[in-house]
Amino acid sequence: MIEKEKKIRVVIGLGNPGDKYIRNRHNIGFRVLDVLSEKLNVFWKTSDLMDLTEAIIDEARVLLIKPLTYMNNSGKIIPFLLKKGIKSEEILVVHDELEKKFANLSIKLGGSARGHNGLRSIIDVLGKDFWRLRFGIGRPESLSVSDYVLSNFSQDEEIQVPELIEKSVELILKNS
């Protein structure tokens, strides 16, 4: 749970732009932000670097961002936030997490990239002390990690994904 005096001012959902990636495990951050934006009735504006919108959550303005830089370059959006005076502890990044079993959700502050290139890109620019909503996808049994994260959820998993996205949105709303 995020301490109430540490308000979240930005929620970043990690993913890759383009239709071919929509249902990929690596795109769960985009999917969560899409549902969050629908629930808050806000609409995306697109620039070269990101899809961006602003919402009111618990009487506070919060930016919602989907980087359009592809996963490995997600950190390219951070200078935009730093120019706005946003501090690392005011940022929540929604991402897939190999180190958690599928369907396991958690929020934590800080940590390493653990091989996640999107997180590594953000850490390289911002440092590691930002909030993360970790959406467990589990480790692959037979595929390489890169093939696994760029593949779609299994049919059984995809049935559960909408409910897990809703739980993720609830966590964001409760902790913002």
- 10, 12, 14, 26: the active-site residue: 26
Listed residue (133, 93, 132, 109) closest to 3, CA to CA? 109
Tokens of 28: 């769960």
Distance separating alpha carbons of residues 140 and 76, to the nearest angstrom:
29
With beta carbons less than 8 A apart as the criterion, state whether 148 and 12 touch.
Answer: no
φ, ψ (nearest 5 deg) of residue 156: -65, -40
Sign of CA dihedral 106, 50, 53, 23: negative
Provide the pairing of β-strand 131-136 with 50-57: unpaired
CA proximity to 136, closest of 144, 35, 114, 176: 114
Strands 131-136 and 10-13, bridge-based pairing: unpaired
Residue 95 bears catalytic tag: no
Phi, psi for residue 163 in degrees, rounded to 5:
-65, -40
Which residues are catalytic, by number?
Answer: 26
